[in-house]
Structures are given as C-alpha cells and as structure tokens.
C-alpha cells in the first residue's frame, strides 16, 4: 500500500493583528517586521477559542475533502505545543467532538516540525495495512504563550490549525520520501521558559537556513528525482529569508513556493498544513505534482516529505 494525503482543511481565527497594531504595543515598525520576516499580519484566537476548537474546524474540512466520515477514522494525531490542558490530549477531545468513536488518539510534540512528524508516523500505519484513514492535525494557540512585551518574539507568531487525512492512494502517488531529525543540543535556542516562548533568533536562523535547504534536497534525492522535478515547495512559514534559502537551493521560481506567512505569521505546527490547504484550494498544487513539505522547530527538530500529489 502507498500512503498519501486524501483530504486537507484549515482554520484561522477571525481576528487580524497587523504590524501597525503591534506598533502601538511594542517598540517596532511595520517596515522592520516586513523586511526581516515577511510578515504583514497574523490571526489571534478569541479567549473562548482554544487549540482543540481550531483543530476541530480544520478536521471537519479535511474529512469532508477526503470524502469519508468521522467513524471511518482509525487514528487521530495532533501536533501541538499549546494543548488546551496537559490532559486529556487535544486528540482525545477531538475524537469525542468529531464522533470518531473507532479512532485511537494521541498528541505529538515536535514544535514547528510536528506536522511532518505526524505525517511520517501516519505513513507507517497505512503502509503496513494496520489502519486505513488517519487524521493528522497541526494546531496552535501561540498567542497564549507569547510575551506581548517582547518585541523580538511577539511580532512572529499567530494562531491557527491545518489538517490532513492520510490514507491509501493509487500506485505512483503519495508520500515518496521523508526525512526526520533532531538536535537536542540546540533546544536551548528555542524553548518555552516559564509561561512564554524564548528564542535566540540568531542561532535559530543559522540552523534553519542550513537545515531547510538540506532536508529539501534530501527528500528529492530519496524519491529518485532531481530539483527540476519539484513542482511546488511548501516550507514552514517562519521567516521569508529562511524560506527563500530553501527555494534557492531547489532553484525554483518564487511563484512555486507557498508564502502564507505574510497573512498568518508563524503558526508553528499549523503553518505547513494551512499553507498546503490553501495551495490545494487555489490550484497551486495540482494532480500529479511533486511537492516538497519542509519544516524545522524547537527541540531542535526538523522534517521534510516528498509527495506525488493525488489520490
């Protein structure tokens, strides 16, 4: 059996927080944020909306897109660093709310690379024939762990959720290659210390501009392809300069890279599935395209997946 993505969905909160809004909160400017990060605005969830709520809305759309019902789901994997509470897990809350009574459920914690870890984990169950339909979600309410007085971090993050159904696809399509990795020694550069996110921006940037391009090329080569075969790149939406480093390594034109960062900022594990759902919706990703998903995050962690798109 060949595992692939059979349905996608996304959800972002209604409230928009622009760079100009942030100018009124901390000592920063729209020009500074845009030129250094590529971010123009981000979405912020209301007080009565938590991670599980956003995950639910994205999941409903992915399940519908896959043409299945909640009771068809065998396993729910939620990648998040901002669960509603330590336990029960977001995945268990989601199982009950969806009515996915047959599904096992667990959360994954690999920060911004969490969705990649989730996809690769799901692939193993599908490839071995143990499960038929697995729901993988990246969902974050980063606004609740963001220090809104720290201008170095508060300009970066936003809230949202993206989901994908992983199932069996036709021969030649699906997940053709993947790479996962971690460097625990770099964990101190990006962590939650106390209530808030703490980041050494310089060190994280150095790590990311090396790892994202390398991982992208690795999954292309593992799929037996060349960079000329890449039709679309969906990188973790963390910083436009980091994303450009990956794009330049693959030597693909700018229009073939997802850039939802300007609208949503860094939504951690949700950023890749949100960007993927949008790319499918607007036709940027088409049937039989070879696409590369690549991300990095706290841990430090990283992951990349090469997919031949289609069911």
Give dist(CA 278, CA 8) in Å, integer: 9
According to DSSP, the β-strands at 2-11 and 159-169 are antiparallel
Give yes or no for a contact between 299 and 183, defined as CB atoms under 8 angstroms apart.
Answer: yes
Q: In terms of C-beta density within 10 A (0-12 exposed, 13-18 middle, 19 or more buried), how is residue 226 classed? A: exposed
Q: Which of 19, 57, 133, 236 is catalytic?
A: 236
Q: Give, in order, the Cα–Cα distances in Å from 280 to each of 80, 89, 116.
A: 23, 29, 18
H or E element at residue 210: helix 201-222
Q: Which of 112, 133, 218, 239 is catalytic?
A: 112
Give dist(CA 301, CA 117) in Å, integer: 9
Q: Which of 19, 133, 239, 266 is catalytic?
A: 266
Catalytic annotation on 236?
A: yes
Catalogue the long-range contacts made by 250-253 (C-beta closer than 8 Å, 24 or more residues apart): 250/213, 250/216, 250/217, 250/220, 250/292, 251/227, 252/227
H or E element at residue 31: helix 30-37
DSSP per-residue codes, 42-94:
EEE--TT--HHHHHHHHHHHHHHHHT--GGG--EEEEE-SS-SSSSS-HHHHH
CA 283 to chain CA centroid, nearest Å:
19
Q: φ and ψ at 199, to 5 degrees?
A: -145, 135
**What is residue 125's DSSP assignment?**
H
Catalytic center residues: 112, 236, 266
């Amino acid at each position: 059996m060949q595992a692939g993505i059979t349905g996608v969905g996304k959800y972002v909160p209604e409230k928009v927080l622009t760079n100009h809004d942030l100018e009124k909160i901390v000592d920063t400017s729209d020009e500074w944020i845009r030129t250094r990060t590529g971010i123009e605005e981000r979405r912020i969830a209301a007080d009565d909306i938590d991670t599980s709520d956003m995950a639910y809305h994205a999941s409903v759309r992915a399940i519908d897109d896959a043409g299945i019902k909640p009771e068809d789901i065998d396993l729910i994997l939620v990648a998040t660093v901002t669960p509603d509470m330590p336990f029960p897990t977001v995945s268990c809350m989601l199982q009950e709310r969806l009515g996915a009574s047959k599904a096992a459920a667990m959360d994954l914690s690999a920060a911004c690379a969490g969705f990649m870890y989730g996809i690769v984990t799901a692939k193993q169950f599908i490839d071995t024939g143990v499960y038929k339909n697995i729901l993988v979600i990246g969902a974050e309410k980063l606004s609740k762990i963001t220090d809104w007085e720290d201008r170095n971090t508060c300009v970066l993050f936003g809230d949202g959720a993206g989901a994908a159904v992983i199932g069996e696809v036709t021969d030649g399509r699906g997940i053709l290659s993947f790479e996962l990795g971690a460097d625990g020694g770099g964990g101190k550069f990006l962590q939650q210390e106390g209530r808030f996110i703490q980041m050494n921006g310089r060190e994280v940037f150095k790590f990311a501009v090396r790892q994202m391009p390398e991982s992208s090329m690795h999954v292309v080569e593992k799929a037996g392809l060349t960079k000329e075969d890449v039709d679309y790149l969906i990188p973790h939406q963390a910083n436009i300069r980091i994303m450009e480093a990956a794009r330049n390594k693959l030597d693909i034109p700018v229009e073939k890279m997802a850039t939802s960062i300007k609208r949503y900022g860094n939504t951690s594990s949700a950023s890749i599935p949100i960007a993927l759902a949008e790319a499918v919706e607007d036709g940027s990703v088409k049937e039989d395209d070879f696409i590369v998903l690549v991300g990095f995050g706290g841990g430090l962690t990283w992951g990349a997946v090469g997919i031949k798109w289609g069911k």
